[in-house]
Structure formats: structure tokens, C-alpha cells
Chains A and B, each alone.
Chain A
């Protein structure tokens, strides 16, 4: 069959710090009409750069070599005026974060209509009619009345639908979607993916779908292309890939995805190398369990002995251990001494009030929430965005005002004051999604971790330094890290530092608010394992708030499901997963992307 897109030997060089750095190296891929291909890799592997290269929208100073054949025409050699005719007409692109990707001060009718008029001409009224059709096609309810609305008047999922409608305006042959669902909650994300899958079937449109989420790939993609440090490591049919990954990196990546009921996550040791520091030969060699001397001599050729192609000297044979070696054992039930008691918790935020007018009354963000948490126990809190998960965490942390009672170790926070209350508060610490936001960029990491120690007093400088080093060791970081600044560490490292800082206060409970959502799967696995070990060692309790059902079920002894500020269901993890009682829980579990276990 003729390919819609065929990329041959594509390399991209960008200017970084005044030098040319090769970001993407010798990429080869093909997409047939109606095919959905996933481009997968960790953050920084070059996925977005590949997508932007096809559109020829790379940042200034970029240089490309190789061929990008779209229906036989080489876009790599096309001039800018020609590219303007191609963009939006033959290839369209959907971006991550639709709020930023849409112009805030133009109506959606204008923005969708523009995509059509740029290429087809026509009157404003015709463009409007086309926009209406498209909005209807992507499932915006009551599209007629939404035409004159602005992007901020839509929810995240709706905005992404608007983005998709815009990209479809001229019926492109190829749609590139760069992380179209990242940042959306799972229910909405699934709707968006289903929409894209339906549209490409109905329109026989090829889709190149950029993501780091393997479970979404398994559910929707026909074929897969895995990048590591700017080079292809494995590519071929998606089903075969998930059945028998052949590249050690693919295997490791699949192994680190959290799955329901798993006893232990596997993680990949080490970090993705920066483009300037890529090792010679196979780029995965320093982290590879199968590496031999030959691996560092040259980049491995593609091995075609299996169902997929793998660039590896020692591809895994069919009979190798399956991607998921762990048994999905049920978690043994444990008994916990009581620690936290939450009774009838309610939170109501005040709306924006005027200078003179009274503040508007908003509906409660949390109502009648009661639960107990034992020492060393982990309670998972799930629910879609806006369901009150973070409000619950903040109330327990005493960061916001609330009704009802929060009792820790038998002490009711509302009945305490002054120093005693501060001491009690210190026993509950927090780790957020983006830890760097809560770190002063001018402080060193050592100072960041030492802050809670200093607040508590009682330690001299030398003792404090020793404690900081011990804490860094506990979270698996090098003591030399203490001298660095929050700006020069990776996301995973920053999250470990945040955990070390929380531990410094010697807490009994840590509220984890989406601790791994910003991280790649391999980093996420490392962090979750670390948290689990710490909890066992110090009888530390967690309240884990997350979108990701798999992560929550991996970590938690019990799960509470929140909907519109109320707990609709709370149960032991295994029981909740196997026999969810509330319809809402069933919907959430159904929408959660899940890697299906494979038979070897």
C-alpha cells in the first residue's frame, strides 16, 4: 500500500548554547492511510521534535537532513510558501494543553473557520457553517450556541475537541497529535482518544500519535515506534510489540508501568542521557541488563528476526521472560494502629466577592467526608478533576479552613492552639506534583532539606549537615547533590528531594498530591517503590491523591472514591477493584488506561 507519510533517514540538529546538537538521529518511519501509529519515548527522547520536523515548525536555527515524503512530496526540501499550503490542509496538528494552544481572545468559530478559509477561501458565513459542522462532528453539545464562545469558556476536554475540530477543517490526510490527552483526567482522556480513533476510521485518515503513555497505545494504536535518546529502538505492529517486546529498553519500559494488583514495580536504573552526552554505540548500553562489549562499538543494526524490528545486538528471543514477570498476587490484609481520624469534613470556598457586595456562596467542595487512617497505612483518593481530592489533602494539612474534625494521634486540630498546634501540624507533611515550585531556586538542595530541621531547632550545623546527607541517602540520592540548586536537577530527582524534605520533619503522615503525574513511567516506578519502602521502614502513613488508578491501586491499602465532594465508595483495594459497588467507581475503573497482562 502507498504510505501517506514516509520518513527516510531524518536527522534534526538544534542550536543549544551556541552549538549544534543532533537531537533526532536517522529516523525512518511509514504510515499508511487510516493507520494509527504511536511515537513513544521518555521525556526528552525527541518525540515532539520529530512531529514539529514533519510540519517544518522547528525552532529557528534548526537544520534537518533526510526526506519527509508526504504523499510522495519531499517536505524536507519544500520552501516556506509551499509549507503554508501543506500545513492545515494535508497535515494537521493537535497540540498538548489546548488552553494555551488556542488564541484566548478570538471566538472558536473564528479560529476553526480560519483553518478552513486559509485554504479553501469562501465567505465568513460559509466558514461559520463549516465550523458548526465540525463542532458537531467532534461531539460538542449544542454547537450552534457555542460558536461565539471563547476558549476559556470550555472545559479542558471540550477545548481539546475544539482543537481537533480545527485540525479536521480541511480533511487532512495525516493528523499529528502531540500528547493530546496529557493533563486531562482519565474519563475525559478516554473520550478524546475514542474520538480520534473514530475519526480516523470514518475519514481513513492516518494518525501519528505522540505519547509516553503505553497503556493508551495498547488500546488504540495499530503500530508503534519507540524512540530512545533520539534514535529508534523498536518499531512494528503494536499487538506484536505488547506480546513480545524485543528490545531490552521496550521490555524495561513496559515493566515499569504500574498495573493493578502488582506487588513490585520494576524500574530502569540510571537516566536518559542528554543529547550532548549520548554514549557511543547503543545509547541504552549503560542502563541495559543484557549489554556486552559489542554494544558500545557501533549503533546496532535493525534485527528483523521477530515480529517487530529492534535495533539491538542481542534482541530478546520469543521465549525470554515475559514482559511482566511478577505474579499479580493479592495484597495481604494488614492491621494498623489508629493514627488519623477525619469526621464530617466539609470545605466550602468563597467565590470572588466585590468591594461592597457580599461574596457569592459556592457549592461545597467537600461534604460529610469521614474516614480513618492507620499507622503505616496508605489511603488512595481518586476522582475526576474538580471532585475535591486536593481540597481533602489541604484540609488534612490544615492549609485551608474546614468544618468537622481532623484528629491526629488523639488530638483534635480545632481544639489546639499555639505551639502545640504547630508541633502537631509538623507531623503531617506534603509532596506536590511539581516540587520545584515550592523550592526557592536560590537555595541549595541541602538548605532546602535542612529548612524543617532548622525550624525545629536543637541541631548544630554539623549535625544538621550529617542529617541532610542521611536523608539524601534514604531517598537514593548522592550526598553531593546537597550543593546543587533545584534548577539543575531532573523532575524525578526534584521529587526525591521533596520527599527528603518532608522526611526531615519526621512526619507520621505524608499527603502525596499527584506525586508522579509529571514523571515518565520509569521514573515513576522508582519513586513509587521508594515511597513504599519508606512506609514499611518508618510505619509512615500516606494519603495518596492521583488521577491514575493503577498508581493508586499499586500503593494503597484502601481506596476512597470522591465524586462532587463526597465519598461515594471506600473499600480495601482488592475488593474495590474486583467488585466496585458505585456506578461512578465502575466508570472510573473502566476509563483508566490499563496495560493488559500478556501470556508468555
Chain B
């Protein structure tokens, strides 16, 4: 087991390295550069060259990359060009916001997916399942920013029940837990609507499939009630594919999250990433890619570990 984890982490390091390298070179090869963002579009070529030299941007790319990796190995992620603060320090605040946002979203979407999927699996092919299926397809097809915009229009602009955006910082003394929670409602709803639409469908199909298996007939032949069959036998086996899918859809959830965070002005990693990309603040951008990559790897690993606990046949040799 331990060996499996270590092996997985080792192979993930390689993937992460490739990912980071790719983003590093792509970002540095885009025209313009951070100097223009800092000095303004009208900056003279001389001042730009001077600044580039100070930031080390005039060095060969390969050397810059080597330097970045060297710093990373020493636990440093560099300085933000624009905000002039260590990236590590900056990231932490946003990362915390993002973690809260995703954890809440994933818990809510999983719970909802299980509930809907059970209904769909049990009444497969009949009207309750068909009704849910129609909604799943609808939401699955919608782009995240559209859902976000609609939610803002209804709940924030029309009825003023919930704030559309504007949470600035968790450390703001005026922003209590209640206000923070209120700010979370719409982004979490957006992400959940989108993930639930596909997750619940997978789970519903898994439940339906499990219900058709021979061991269910065996359980019925023992006199076990339907509810017990569903919760003691079927649930656990049907959860396995759900968790695998959840693990695999982390990158998808994160990319959806970037858009959702930006639309709702929610100060998380996605939002920061969007900003840094616009201003070509490379150190932040690359650090965020790294963090999201690590989160994805860990999420996947967690999914596999949970699956291993659920499935006695999985053996890690």
C-alpha cells in the first residue's frame, strides 16, 4: 500500500515537471511581457530593457527555467512582478479560499449526486429517472459562465437575496462567517449544478447496473429487504465508479472553477490565475499551475485510496 503511494507520487512528480515546463515556456514565449504591464503600454524600449534585466528576463529561457527549478527545490516560488510580494505568501490566502470553495462544492455535489443517482438507478427507465435525466442533460450542456451569469441575474440583481461578488479578503474584520458563507452560495451552486449533472448520471447508471447483478438476486433469495439490498449491498459497489470519476474530473472542476471564480470575483486561485495571465505575471501563474497540479494528483490519489478501501479485490503490489 505504502509502496503504491510512493510509486504514484514519484510518477506524478514527472508529470508535474512536464506540466510546469510546458506552461513556463508557453508563457515566456507569448509576445509582450510583464514589463509592459508594470510600466504601462507607453513605456520606452530602454526602460523596458532595464526592467527586464532587473527581473532577469533577458537571460536565456533555459537558464531562467533552471533558476526557477533551483529556487523551487529550496522552497521558494519567486516574487510576483506586479504585487512585489513573495509568491508563496500571496498564494496561501487565495489557496485557502479556493480550498474552502472546492471542498464545500465537492461535498455538496457528491451528496446530491448520490441522492439523485439512487432515485435514477431504482426507477431506471421510468418517469422519475427520465425527469432527472432531462435536467442532467440540460445542465451538462450549459457552459459554466452562462450558469453563473444567470444565477447572478436572478438571485443578485433581480431579488437581491445574495451578493453577486465583492468578497475581498477573509481577513477583513467586518466580513464575518455569515457574510463569507453568503458569498459562497452562488459560486458553489454554479459548480455543483455543473458537476452534479454528470456525476449523478454516472452514479445512477452504476446503481442500475449493480441492481441487475447476480448477487442482488442472491440477497433477495435470502429474504433481504429492498432497502437493505440498496444500502448494504449495492451502494458500496456503485460508489466505486463514482469516486473514480470524481478523481478524474478534478482538473475539469478546477478549470470550471477558474471561470466561476472570475465571474463572481471570488478571490481564489482561479481568479488569481486569470489576473496573472492577463498581466503576464509569470511567477504567480506558474506557481498556481503547480499548485493545481499537485491538488489534482492528491485528489486522484485520494480517490484511489478510498476505492481501495471499498474494493477488497484491489491489491497494490
Tell whether, in the assembled complex, residue B313 and residue A354 are in contact, meaning their CB atoms are under 8 Å apart.
no
Among B65-73, B180-188, B218-226, B255-263, the stretch that binds chain A is B218-226
By beta carbon, the residue of chain A nearest B229 is A103
Tell whether, in the assembled complex, residue A105 and residue B237 are in contact, meaning their CB atoms are under 8 Å apart.
yes
Q: Mark A91-135, 1 if CB is under 8 A from B, else 0.
A: 011010100111111100000001100110000000000000000
Provide the main secondary structure of the chain B interface.
helix
Residue of B11, B214, B219, B225 touching A355 (CB-CB under 8 A): B11
Chain B interface size, under 10 / 10 to 19 / 20 to 34 / 35 or more: 20 to 34
Tell whether, in the assembled complex, residue A92 and residue B221 are in contact, meaning their CB atoms are under 8 Å apart.
yes
Q: Please give, as numbers and ranges, the residues of chain A lying within 8 Å of B225 by CB-CB distance.
A: 84
Is A36 on the interface with B (CB-CB < 8 A)? Answer: no
By beta carbon, the residue of chain B nearest A102 is B215
Question: How far, in whole Å, are A55 and B217 apart by their CA atoms in the complex?
Answer: 11
Q: Mark B284-317, 1 if CB is under 8 A from A, else 0.
A: 0000000000000000000000000011110001
A50-102 interface (Cβ within 8 A of B): 55, 57, 84-89, 92-93, 95, 97, 100-102
**Given A97-B214, A100-B213, A85 and B223 contact (CB-CB distance below 8 Å):** yes
Question: How far, in whole Å, are A356 and B4 apart by their CA atoms in the complex?
Answer: 11
**Given A101-B215, A352-B317, A354-B317, A55 and B310 contact (CB-CB distance below 8 Å):** no
Q: Please give, as numbers and ranges, the residues of chain B lying within 8 Å of A355 by CB-CB distance.
A: 7, 11
Question: How far, in whole Å, are A150 and B315 apart by their CA atoms in the complex?
Answer: 13
Q: Please give, as numbers and ranges, the residues of chain A lying within 8 Å of B233 by CB-CB distance.
A: 103, 106
Tell whether, in the assembled complex, residue B312 and residue A57 are in contact, meaning their CB atoms are under 8 Å apart.
no
Tell whether, in the assembled complex, residue B7 and residue A356 are in contact, meaning their CB atoms are under 8 Å apart.
yes
A148 to chain B: closest CB distance in Å?
A: 10
Tell whether, in the assembled complex, residue B222 and residue A166 are in contact, meaning their CB atoms are under 8 Å apart.
yes
Is A421 on the interface with B (CB-CB < 8 A)? Answer: no
Question: How far, in whole Å, are A354 and B10 apart by their CA atoms in the complex?
Answer: 13
B33-78 interface (Cβ within 8 A of A): none
Is B236 on the interface with A (CB-CB < 8 A)? Answer: yes
Q: Mark B98-130, 1 if CB is under 8 A from A, else 0.
A: 000000000000000000000000000000000
Q: Please give, as numbers and ranges, the residues of chain A lying within 8 Å of B220 by CB-CB distance.
A: 57, 87
**Given A93-B221, A118-B222, A103 and B215 contact (CB-CB distance below 8 Å):** yes
Q: Mark B1-38, 1 if CB is under 8 A from A, else 0.
A: 00000010001000000000000000000000000000
By beta carbon, the residue of chain A nearest B310 is A105
Question: How far, in whole Å, are A258 and B26 apart by their CA atoms in the complex?
Answer: 73
Is A152 on the interface with B (CB-CB < 8 A)? Answer: yes
Q: Please give, as numbers and ranges, the residues of chain A lying within 8 Å of B317 by CB-CB distance.
A: 352, 354
By beta carbon, the residue of chain A nearest B313 is A152
Question: How far, in whole Å, are A102 and B218 apart by their CA atoms in the complex?
Answer: 7
Question: How far, in whole Å, are A86 and B312 apart by their CA atoms in the complex?
Answer: 32
Chain A interface size, under 10 / 10 to 19 / 20 to 34 / 35 or more: 20 to 34
Question: How far, in whole Å, are A93 and B223 apart by their CA atoms in the complex?
Answer: 11
Question: How far, in whole Å, are A88 and B233 apart by their CA atoms in the complex?
Answer: 17
Q: Please give, as numbers and ranges, the residues of chain A lying within 8 Å of B11 by CB-CB distance.
A: 355
Question: How far, in whole Å, are A84 and B215 apart by their CA atoms in the complex?
Answer: 16
Q: Please give, as numbers and ranges, the residues of chain A lying within 8 Å of B223 by CB-CB distance.
A: 84-89, 115, 118-119
Question: How far, in whole Å, are A97 and B219 apart by their CA atoms in the complex?
Answer: 15
By beta carbon, the residue of chain A nearest B312 is A150
Residue of A55, A103, A104, A106 touching B221 (CB-CB under 8 A): A55
Question: How far, in whole Å, are A86 and B220 apart by their CA atoms in the complex?
Answer: 11
Residue of A93, A105, A150, A352 touching B236 (CB-CB under 8 A): A105
Q: Please give, as numbers and ranges, the residues of chain B lying within 8 Å of A118 by CB-CB distance.
A: 222-224, 228
A34-60 interface (Cβ within 8 A of B): 55, 57
**Which 10 pairs across A and B sit closest by C-beta, in order of nearness?**
A88-B223, A88-B222, A100-B214, A87-B223, A150-B312, A103-B215, A115-B222, A93-B221, A101-B214, A101-B218
Chain B residues in contact with chain A, CB under 8 A? 7, 11, 213-215, 217-225, 228, 232-233, 236-237, 310-313, 317
| Pairs across A and B, CB under 8 Å, 16 listed | A57-B217, A57-B221, A85-B223, A87-B220, A88-B221, A89-B223, A93-B221, A101-B218, A103-B237, A104-B237, A104-B313, A106-B236, A119-B223, A150-B312, A152-B313, A169-B222
Chain A residues in contact with chain B, CB under 8 A? 55, 57, 84-89, 92-93, 95, 97, 100-106, 114-115, 118-119, 150, 152, 163, 166, 169, 352, 354-356
Apart from A84-B223, A114-B232, A150-B312, what 16 extra A-B contacts exist at CB < 8 Å? A57-B217, A57-B220, A84-B224, A87-B221, A87-B222, A88-B221, A93-B221, A95-B217, A100-B213, A101-B214, A102-B218, A103-B218, A104-B313, A105-B236, A114-B224, A118-B223
